[in-house]
Amino acid sequence: MRPLSGSYGLSLEVAKLADGRKVVAKHGRGPRPDHLRIEGRMLQRLAGEIPVPKVHLCEDDLLVMDYIPGSGSLGASGERHMAHLLAAMHGRPRDHFGLKFDTTIGPLPQPNSRRASWVEFFRDNRLMFMARLAHERAGLSASLLARIERLCAHLDEFITEPAHPSLLHGDIWGGNVIAAHGRVAAFIDPAIYHGHYEYDLAFMTMFGTAGAAFFDAYAELMDDFDRQGFFDVRRDVYLIYPHLTHVLICGLSYAAGIDSRLARLGF
């Protein structure tokens, strides 16, 4: 057994088995009793869609999955590979917005009740749900909450309905992408649901996970991707949600990113 850095009250170790295979074991209770079971279920749902570790055991207090070694950063070739992987997953139509089960993003709950439209889902299940939680638990100001409410009242003026719902990873940043030899070896720690593929793209810009090589390749593969409109307006709308989650996880310093994006949108 070799310990790795854990998080959210969970321990993380690499175990070498008698037959030479290596697995990762996450164990503990975590932020909610079924946290590890949900994480395992999300990985199993992504299997066959994008590269993820194979899940061997999935229980409330123990998750065992393949160990995926990494070697360095993605680089331009890795970004292009990631564009092909995500475009293939995003391009497969799903039948509704939401998911058959609720998920998590980090230690936080993520409700996935089915909605008729993407605007309705992102407004009620994402922005307003997390804004109220951040106000109640993390001290997000009443004035900032009111500005988010005003944006939500006009949300259909800023984001568009996709041609179809897409399966999303939901939490793509550098720490959740394992790279090896200029390719994506695996995605980990998902926060899945069916939504607009642009949300995945927006999240990837928050910490510089994806750059020009990714977006050039993705735009070639996804004919309906309005790159200019995304970067001019819609990315700011989508980034409010991960900033809200970071207010809850990391603190109120992330409220500044919400404030600046609301101001650019006129709220």
Q: What does the pLDDT average to over 62-73?
A: 93
Residue 25 β-bridge partners: 13, 64
Q: With pLDDT > 70 as the criterion, what percentage of the chain qualifies?
A: 100
Alpha-carbon distance of 167 to 46, in angstroms, equals 9
% residues pLDDT > 90 (the chain): 94
pLDDT of residue 35: 93
> For the whole model, what pTM was predicted?
0.96
Whether 75-265 and 2-66 are alike in CATH topology: the answer is: no
Give the length of the chain: 267
The answer for residues whose C-beta is within 8 angstroms of residue 260's C-beta and 6 or more apart is none
Tell me the C-alpha to C-alpha distance, in Å, between residue 195 and each of 4, 35, 74, 152, 173. Answer: 33, 22, 26, 17, 18
Tell me how far apart the alpha carbons of residues 246 and 198 are, in angstroms, rounded to a whole number.
19
Q: The domain 75-265 belongs to what CATH superfamily? A: Aminoglycoside phosphotransferase (APH), C-terminal lobe (3.90.1200.10)
Model confidence band, residue 29 (pLDDT cutoffs 50, 70, 90): confident
* Of 8, 227, 248, nearest in space to 139 by CA: 248
Look at the alpha carbons of 145, 151, 154, 160 in this order and tell me if their dihedral is positive or negative. Answer: negative
pLDDT in tens, 167-209: 999 999 999 999 999 999 999 999 999 999 999 999 999 999 9
Mean pLDDT, to the nearest integer, of 99-124? 96
DSSP 216-232: HHHHHH-TT--HHHIII
Domain borders along the chain are 2-66, 75-265
Is domain 2-66 classified as CATH 3.40.50.2300? no
Q: What integer best gives the mean pLDDT of the chain?
A: 96
